[in-house]
């Protein structure tokens, strides 16, 4: 029976999940693969001892103990961040070792360098856990949908943001109040910026776009807006209008150019993504052959993410056993067929919009506002005016037909300059019906 030996860098939450999965599923993995997967070495500068079941595993503080051990076949990096994670992965690759990582931030910025080095050294890079936690989204996109032109990607890819928006919607709570609760429950980090400002979601979208379209998409290519400015008032209006607000990653393939955006989006209550609640993730693909596919599950956590890392380890082990390393290209497309992306400028985006205008309730105000919309080619689909006390500013909510982002920005600028408008206009994009 073949033994595959594994070195693990980082024994944090996900590292423990991987170790537990390999330990508890050892016999099942042997039955399914004919391979004994053995965790031999763990590198972690903050861990003094390992649990009793890992008494045969060497614990060290020096990653060179893994790189310089010729018996180790696969190096798993689970420390996150840019450095030293990047250097560790490149060192392992240059030593001829296969690597597995869950590091979406690193791959969305330096993925091209890492995948190029792996191809040159004929080793594999597993990164299933970088998107969707325990959801097998990378494998589905690389292999299950290989006979498809991907028309679009839409998804809820951050559990923290989705938990916060769910609580705001269901309980009428304000953002800061829900965030504090999420931190106390462990759903949000002490510094939640990456989660609530959409950056974590953008990391994942860049990776998915790279695989889906065969393009070298970088984090900087993604337009990113977060949820910290979402107010209960807009969530309430959304519900009245038959929508729920979600933080979505969206990319539509226009052939010569592709959209790349992360932002709060009004999703019709009839759409599948509107039903995804709490800390769960859901990612939807549309292929020209298969149609719509929705993958749903836990997007984070020790065991779900550990499961995804273990799946990469097993895949690589099977390829080693069958002498078929890189049978499936790391990014689905062969390296020489990857191309540079042309990203749709945000000003050229066309979609429906929600606007909330705050204005004094005076004769002629509505006419002035709608006239500005008309001047910029924005067609109103529906309008709601909030009941209010006399002499108080009023909320006027508009839902539009599809309009161009550049025209929308110019219209909002003019509306906000009106002497009767007392607060900046709120704009939220609507999900495009395909």
352: domain CATH number is 3.30.70.260
Co-location of 221 and 316 in the same domain: no
Co-location of 271 and 200 in the same domain: yes
User: Please, what is the Cα angle at 89 between 86 and 92, to 5 degrees?
Assistant: 145
**pTM for this model (two decimals):** 0.96
Co-location of 175 and 124 in the same domain: no
Please give the tally of structural domains in the chain: 3
Co-location of 152 and 275 in the same domain: yes
User: What CA–CA distance (Å, rounded) separates 260 from 14?
Assistant: 29
Burial, 68: exposed, middle or buried (Cβ in 10 Å; 0-12, 13-18, 19+)? Answer: exposed
Co-location of 85 and 142 in the same domain: no
Co-location of 283 and 183 in the same domain: yes
Active-site annotation holder among 16, 86, 97, 204 = 204
Co-location of 159 and 276 in the same domain: yes
Pairing status of strand 2-9 against strand 35-43: parallel
- pLDDT values of the chain reduced to their tens digit, one per residue, 434 residues: 899 999 999 999 999 999 999 999 999 999 999 999 999 999 999 999 999 999 999 999 999 999 999 999 999 999 999 999 999 999 999 999 999 999 999 999 999 999 999 999 999 999 999 999 999 999 999 999 999 999 999 999 999 999 999 999 999 999 999 999 988 887 788 899 999 999 999 999 999 999 999 999 999 999 999 999 999 999 999 999 999 999 999 999 999 999 999 999 999 999 999 999 999 999 999 999 999 999 999 988 899 999 999 999 999 999 999 999 999 999 999 999 999 999 999 999 999 999 999 999 888 999 999 999 999 999 999 999 877 666 789 999 999 999 999 999 999 999 999 999 999 999 999 999 76
C-alpha radius of gyration, the chain, whole number: 24
434 found inside a domain: no
* Sequence-distant (≥ 6) Cβ neighbours of residue 138 within 8 angstroms: 127, 128, 130, 131, 132, 207, 211
Co-location of 82 and 112 in the same domain: yes
Co-location of 150 and 14 in the same domain: no
User: Please, what is the Cα angle at 417 between 414 and 420, to 5 degrees?
Assistant: 115
Range of the domain at 400: 346-429
Co-location of 17 and 106 in the same domain: yes
Residue 284 parent element (H or E): strand 280-287
Co-location of 265 and 317 in the same domain: no
* C-alpha closest to that of 229 among 43, 40, 356, 371: 356
Q: 271, 298, 325 — which closes off a domain?
A: 298
Q: Quick one: pLDDT at residue 362?
A: 87
Examine the residue annotation and report whether 427 is marked as an active-site residue of this protein.
no
Q: Quick one: pLDDT at residue 389?
A: 67
User: What CA–CA distance (Å, rounded) separates 411 from 368?
Assistant: 12
């Amino acid at each position: 029976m073949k033994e595959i030996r594994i070195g693990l860098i980082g024994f944090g939450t996900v590292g423990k999940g991987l170790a537990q999965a390999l330990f508890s599923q050892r016999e099942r993995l042997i039955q399914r693969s004919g391979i004994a997967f053995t965790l031999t070495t763990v590198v972690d500068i903050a861990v003094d001892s390992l649990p009793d079941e890992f008494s045969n595993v060497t614990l060290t503080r020096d990653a060179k103990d893994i790189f310089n051990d010729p018996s180790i076949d696969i190096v798993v990096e689970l420390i996150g961040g840019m450095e030293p994670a990047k250097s560790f992965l490149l060192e392992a690759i240059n030593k001829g070792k296969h690597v597995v990582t869950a590091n979406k931030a690193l791959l969305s910025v330096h993925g091209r360098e890492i995948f190029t080095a792996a191809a040159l050294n004929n080793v594999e890079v597993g990164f299933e856990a970088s998107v969707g936690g325990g959801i097998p989204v990378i494998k589905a996109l690389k292999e299950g949908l290989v006979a498809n032109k991907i028309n679009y990607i839409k998804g809820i890819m951050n559990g923290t943001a989705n938990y916060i928006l769910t609580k705001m919607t269901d309980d009428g709570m304000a953002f800061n109040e829900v965030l504090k609760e999420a931190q106390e429950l462990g759903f949000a980090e002490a510094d939640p910026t990456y989660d609530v400002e959409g950056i974590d979601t953008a990391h994942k979208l860049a990776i998915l776009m790279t695989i889906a379209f065969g393009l070298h998409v970088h984090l900087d290519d993604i337009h990113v807006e977060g949820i910290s400015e979402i107010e209960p008032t807009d969530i309430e209006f959304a519900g009245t209008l038959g929508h729920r607000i979600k933080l979505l990653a969206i990319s539509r393939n226009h052939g010569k150019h592709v959209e790349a955006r992360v932002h709060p989006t009004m999703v019709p209550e009839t759409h599948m993504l509107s039903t995804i609640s709490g800390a769960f993730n859901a990612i939807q693909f549309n292929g020209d052959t298969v149609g719509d596919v929705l993958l749903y599950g836990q997007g984070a956590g020790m065991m779900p993410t550990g499961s995804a890392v273990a799946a990469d380890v097993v895949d690589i082990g099977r390829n080693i056993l069958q002498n078929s390393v890189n049978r499936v290209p790391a990014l689905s497309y062969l390296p020489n067929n990857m191309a540079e992306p042309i990203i749709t400028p945000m000003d050229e985006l066309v979609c429906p919009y929600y606007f909330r205008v705050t204005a004094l309730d005076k004769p002629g105000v509505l006419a002035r506002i709608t006239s500005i919309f008309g001047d910029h080619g924005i067609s109103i689909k529906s309008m709601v005016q909030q009941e209010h006390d006399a002499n108080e500013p009023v909320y006027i909510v508009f839902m539009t037909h599809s309009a161009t982002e550049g025209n929308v920005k110019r219209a909002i600028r003019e509306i906000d300059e009106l002497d009767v408008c007392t607060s900046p206009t709120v704009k939220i994009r609507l999900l495009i019906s395909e």
